[in-house]
């Protein structure tokens, strides 16, 4: 009964928001368009997200406005939530604060004082802490964040070598983001906890798998470093299982272990490294579609919509990006999260 009361209003709103998502046939039509202006024109005529765009925007300008559209949709859902559920919904908004912090850190690391950062920020462009001056460096910027949740996870790495400082800081910001979402869901009903584990938990599993794989293959990190950056709160891998994966003797042993799990698709076929992110996103996209259709009076519909909106923006952005390189229609489909016949990877 409490679930019915809690989610009746918000799920009705989310059903309406879901109906405004683009359909598969829209992406077929968009993939046939060969310039950004006409893509935006199509979106303005056929979608709600198009209301956020102007026809003569560049692809990067359009991307920023689509991200702002996502923020508006999250705030609409949060309005109907209370207690831990509101904290959980608002937790997804921190993604955009973190994205802005990462942009600042990258500019400071490059010492690019002429970069027009203000126009590239999503939510922090009115925050005085994000105004860069000629004397600003990474430690100074981090000190400005002293009264935020981000300070603790950044300050311990501020004196690292220049070539690894961004790596450590961005990994810790991502870990903080997902850890806060997991923490916010701890007070949910048992039914809602299952929904969170099935979607957010599986996303965390996939992030951990890809992190360990890349940490071993490209960064040659020690097991202690690998486990330190793993995110707890996944669906199938708890701390002990993650630790075991981190301490395996070789990369081949790690891959063979994952092939025995539900995530074996990550390492099927060729070009694993190229397609790993896309395979992960595609798996989560279809999982979210399934969860959306079966969810009733629980948090599954809201969480599924958040995932599906993210992948809508990813796919629109991918199509815009392909126009720069004169890529064929068939090849364009291969860059999308959603799958079409012949685009499976």
pLDDT digits (tens, 9 = 90+) for 34-43: 999 999 999 9
Q: At what angle do helices 202-217 and 251-258 cross, to 10 degrees?
A: 160
Containing domain of residue 24, as a range?
Answer: 2-333
Looking at residue 341, its pLDDT comes to 76
Domain count, the chain: 1
Percent of the chain exceeding pLDDT 90 equals 78
Looking at residue 345, its pLDDT comes to 59
Closest CA to 212 of 242, 240, 173: 242
Confidence class for position 2, pLDDT limits 50, 70, 90: low
Looking at residue 78, its pLDDT comes to 93
Lowest mean pLDDT among 151-165, 190-204, 328-342: 151-165
Over range 303-320, report the average pLDDT: 98
Looking at residue 270, its pLDDT comes to 82
- Neighbouring C-beta atoms of residue 5, cutoff 10 Å: 9
CA distance 228 to 156: 14
Looking at residue 344, its pLDDT comes to 64
Confidence class for position 13, pLDDT limits 50, 70, 90: very high
Q: Is residue 216 part of a domain?
A: yes
What does pTM read for this prediction?
0.94
Looking at residue 281, its pLDDT comes to 98
Determine contact, residues 208/230, Cβ cutoff 8 Å: yes
- Neighbouring C-beta atoms of residue 224, cutoff 10 Å: 10
Burial of 195 (0-12, 13-18, 19+ CB in 10 A): buried
pLDDT at 1 over 60: no
Give the torsion through C-alpha atoms of 167, 173, 179, 184, to 10 deg: -170
Q: Is residue 192 part of a domain?
A: yes
Comparing 56 with 202, which gets the higher pLDDT? 202
Looking at residue 76, its pLDDT comes to 94
Q: Is residue 343 part of a domain?
A: no
94-110, pLDDT tens digit by residue?
999 999 999 999 998 88
End-to-end CA, the chain: 43
Q: Is residue 342 part of a domain?
A: no
Residues 6+ apart with CB under 8 A from 155: 142, 143
Q: Is residue 340 part of a domain?
A: no
- Neighbouring C-beta atoms of residue 265, cutoff 10 Å: 16
- For 57, list phi and psi in degrees, rounded to 5: -70, 150
């Amino acid at each position: 009964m409490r679930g019915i009361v809690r989610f009746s209003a918000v799920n009705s709103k989310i059903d309406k928001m879901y109906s405004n998502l683009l359909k598969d046939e829209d992406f077929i039509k968009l993939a046939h368009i060969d310039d950004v202006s006409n893509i935006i024109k199509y979106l303005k005529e056929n979608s709600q997200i198009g209301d956020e765009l102007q026809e003569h925007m560049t692809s990067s300008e359009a991307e920023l406005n689509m991200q702002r559209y996502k923020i508006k949709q999250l705030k609409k859902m949060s309005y109907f939530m209370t207690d831990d559920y509101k904290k959980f919904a608002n937790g997804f908004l921190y993604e955009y604060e973190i994205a802005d912090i990462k942009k600042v850190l990258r500019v400071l690391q490059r010492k690019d004082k002429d970069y027009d950062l203000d126009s590239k920020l999503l939510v922090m462009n009115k925050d005085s802490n994000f105004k860069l001056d000629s004397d600003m460096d990474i430690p100074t910027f981090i000190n400005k964040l002293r009264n935020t949740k981000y300070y603790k996870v950044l300050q311990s790495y501020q004196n690292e070598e220049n070539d690894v400082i961004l790596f450590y800081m961005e990994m810790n910001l991502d870990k903080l983001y997902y850890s806060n979402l997991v923490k916010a869901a701890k007070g949910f009903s048992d039914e809602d906890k299952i929904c969170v584990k099935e979607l957010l938990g599986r996303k965390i599993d996939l992030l951990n798998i890809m992190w360990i794989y890349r940490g071993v293959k490209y960064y040659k990190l020690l097991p202690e470093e690998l486990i330190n950056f793993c995110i707890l709160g996944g669906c199938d891998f708890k701390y002990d299982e993650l630790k075991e994966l981190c301490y395996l003797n070789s990369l081949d042993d790690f891959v063979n272990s994952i092939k025995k799990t539900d995530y074996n698709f990550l390492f099927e076929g060729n070009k694993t490294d190229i397609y790993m992110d896309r395979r992960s996103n595609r798996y989560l996209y279809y999982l979210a579609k399934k969860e959306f259709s079966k969810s009733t009076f629980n948090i599954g519909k809201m969480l599924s919509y958040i995932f599906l909106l993210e992948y809508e923006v990813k796919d629109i952005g991918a199509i815009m990006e392909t126009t720069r390189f004169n890529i064929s229609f068939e090849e364009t489909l291969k860059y999308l999260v959603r799958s079409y016949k012949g685009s499976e990877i």
